[in-house]
Amino acid sequence: MTPVLVTGALGQVGSELVPALRSRYGVDQVLATDLLSGAPDHPSLGGPFEQLDCTDGVALRGVLERYRIKAIYHLAAILSARAEAEPQLAWRVNMEGLYNVLEAARQVGAQVFVPSSIAAFGPSTPHDPTPQDTIQRPNTLYGVTKVAGELLCDYYAQRFGLDVRGLRYPGLVSYTAPPGGGTTDYAVEIFHHALIKGQYTCFLGPDTRLPLMYMPDAIRATLELMQADPAKLRHRNAFNIAAFSSTPAELAAEIQKHRPDFKVFYAVDPVRQAIAESWPHTLDDSAAREEWGWRPQFDLRGMTQDMLEKLSARILQREA
């Protein structure tokens, strides 16, 4: 039977986490789930898959029991920009879904991974660097759900002894999945436009500095945290992790080293710009480094080179 379940498996993180988990534990040992069905060639569909709405607690509990799940990676969420447009949906998915996962995991005795985000911080948080433990007063609904989620996870760990762990992901850059409605998704879109159109109009200002991370580092951090010795985890939930910080202008300049004719323009979206300005510029990830040995492998230069190579190959494959 399948011991690992992933919710939101067709999303940006799930598209790379599911294959990584299957490579490590075996294809048949990882059940991918999502509200949608997905295209047949989606990377998360090369093994067991079920459509599942995490806001349906009865259905979720049934799947956990049927497959005898021992670990849940709960990725299903409505991201920042979409959450501002559809706040009721965001609350239902981000909070009710999380509650259902934690409660079902408590009942069946499963380990849980729950990602948080730099969106959990706000304008009053120190930005350079943002400490592990600091004031968290976000001004977006997505951020509110992430702070509430961190607290709910802590409650389940303290009250019920549930082994729940999490990371505060920076903006993630991936060649596998399309952007998912996040404020840092310019850092994904820009590569697609550079390779396909030769130009890009960015919705954030050129000097907007945000923490970013290449997806292979994020996946590795997720797996390393879930395997870490619990006795060494003082925080357990919502670790800051960092790789590098960049502005749109700096990322564009790095791409132009490989694509000299690439042009970038700016048409600032006030909503997403305001969200970005409330978030950290850099992160203090010393707790993750000390408690479970976190170290990033990709900087801006390395990510850009690898991203262009991998995405170019995917585009050529689609066109063939």
* Neighbour count for residue 57 (Cβ, 10 Å): 16
What's 145's DSSP letter? Answer: H
Which helix (H) or strand (E) segment is 112 a member of? strand 111-113
| Spatial CA neighbour of 303 closest among 163, 206, 172 | 172
What's the gap between Cα 95 and its chain centre?
16
Which helix (H) or strand (E) segment is 173 a member of? strand 171-173
Beta carbons of 83 and 145 less than 8 angstroms apart: yes
Which residue in the list 67, 73, 99, 142 is annotated as catalytic? 142
Beta bridge partners of 164: 112
Distance separating alpha carbons of residues 131 and 153, to the nearest angstrom:
20
67 is catalytic: no
What's 200's DSSP letter? Answer: E
What is the token pair recorded at 276? 């970005």
Q: Is 149 left (phi over 0), alpha (psi -120 to 50) or beta?
A: alpha
What is the token pair recorded at 13? 């993180």
Distance separating alpha carbons of residues 259 and 190, to the nearest angstrom:
12
Residues noted as catalytic: 142
